Homo-oligomer: A and B are copies of this chain.
Amino acid sequence: MAGNRFGTIFTVTTFGESHGPACGAVVEGCPAGVSLDREILIRELRRRRPRGAGGTGGAGGGDPLGASTARAEEDDPEILSGVFGGKTLGTPIAILVRNRDHHSSDYDELRDLYRPGHADWTWEAKYAFRDHRGGGRSSGRETLGRVAGGAVAKAFLAAACPALEIRAWPSAIAGIPVPGPEDAGFDWEEAGRNPLAVPHREAAAEILALIERLRKEGDSAGGVVSCRVTGLPPGLGEPVFDKLDGRIAAAMVSIGAVKGVELGAGFAAARGRGSSHNDGILPGEAAPPLPGIPSLAFRTNHAGGVLGGISTGAPLEFRTAFKPVPSIAKPQRTLDRHGSPRDLIIRGRHDVCIVPRAVPVVEAMTALVLADLLLLNRCARL
């Protein structure tokens, strides 16, 4: 079935319910000979864990984002197949992460209730039947398989395309913008120091204060993740239905809670003029040079690194909007399975904002898109 697999040649299939035995992924189409081990997976999976509660952030003493969906134990990936002697075999790479430490009984009172902003009711409308514990397969825990698959894609890209670098970061949280890479105070190192993964110290502090206030109010927030890919070779993307930007959009909106995506100038492009939007073409330098055609550069990058769905060699730039976490502590009105109105109070501590944990998911999905398009591009010419 379509729904659980992403990609054409380099593909990931994710599996697992939030409170079932395990989550994981099967990665197919990774070429043979790529260096891969458990450590690579652990490193990426750790990035999607809440900071503080065993995550990379050193704050200690609990997660300031308020996540209890986070499990106390670290995710422990196992490579079941496809790797031998530290190298990929060209066969499917199955990756398993056990679901531990889950408190399924926390969800007993939600069994017959439809939570606003969640997929509880739509899931029943579709399948008649669902695993109500922790959102089942609609849980954010499903992204674990994506991040594992993305780690394999990154390992392949690192070998096949060493100059390529994928960097995502929260560019706005709860309405507070984070200055960008060209702005004063932006600092990649800082992203590793605060629990928000925000690469700007002052912005991080301001946002943390707001998050803390929201946590006390029992409310939640959304935000925007920006992503920039540099070192991308020209020529990636398959017109017309598998364009690079089309695939990125599909990848982003497949992530839960995403409500929008912008490529390059995005919605601002819709307000501009051709004379200002068009990126002027200049002589460029490509290493290695492109056979038969001149290298070129662009005066600006409103296109976001894509023309006609094919990479230009300029940085790929896009932004993804995440809605506020739907699980809030404030009372909400809803219905139960029998159609009776009910007051709902969601107990337990939940993420106030998912955006920091979405950063590695955005990167993983981007890596999966690029790995696939890189392979497809091998088939473009005689």
- B-side contacts of A21, CB under 8 Å: 78-81
Interface members, chain A 317-372 (any B CB < 8 Å): 321-328, 330, 332-339, 341
Interchain CB contact under 8 A, A245 and B253: yes
Q: Is A242 an interface residue (CB 8 A)?
A: yes
CB within 8 Å for A130 and B278 given contacts A222-B272, A382-B34: no
A258 → B minimal CB distance (Å): 8
Interchain CB contact under 8 A, B78 and A222: no
List the B residue with the shortest CB-CB distance to A263: B259
Give CA–CA (A221, B277) in the complex, Å. Answer: 9
List the B residue with the shortest CB-CB distance to A16: B81
Chain B CB within 10 Å, residue with most, of A31, A136, A235, A380: A380
Spot the interface stretch: A51-59, A199-207, A290-298: A290-298
- B-side contacts of A237, CB under 8 Å: 122, 126
Chain A, 18-61, contact with B by CB distance < 8 Å: what is the 0/1 string? 00111110101101111000000000000000000000000000
Give CA–CA (A214, B322) in the complex, Å. Answer: 36
Chain B CB within 10 Å, residue with most, of A82, A260, A375: A260
Some 19 contacts from A to B, beta carbons below 8 A apart, are A1-B9, A1-B379, A3-B240, A4-B239, A33-B381, A89-B129, A114-B296, A116-B280, A121-B234, A126-B380, A127-B381, A138-B308, A159-B382, A221-B272, A260-B266, A274-B327, A281-B333, A294-B338, A378-B379
Give CA–CA (A131, B243) in the complex, Å. Answer: 18
**In the complex, given contacts A9-B9, A31-B381, what are 17 additional A-B residue pairs having Cβ atoms less than 8 angstroms apart?**
A2-B376, A3-B241, A3-B243, A17-B91, A32-B127, A90-B126, A116-B278, A122-B234, A125-B313, A126-B310, A126-B377, A127-B381, A138-B239, A138-B308, A221-B273, A256-B308, A270-B321
Interchain CB contact under 8 A, B242 and A2: yes
Q: Is A166 an interface residue (CB 8 A)?
A: no
- B263, B322, B323: the one within 8 Å of A253 (CB): B263
Interchain CB contact under 8 A, A13 and B13: yes
Interchain CB contact under 8 A, B28 and A278: no
Q: Is A181 an interface residue (CB 8 A)?
A: no
Interchain CB contact under 8 A, A1 and B13: no
Q: Is A148 an interface residue (CB 8 A)?
A: no
Q: Is A288 an interface residue (CB 8 A)?
A: no
Chain B CB within 10 Å, residue with most, of A304, A306, A325, A379: A379
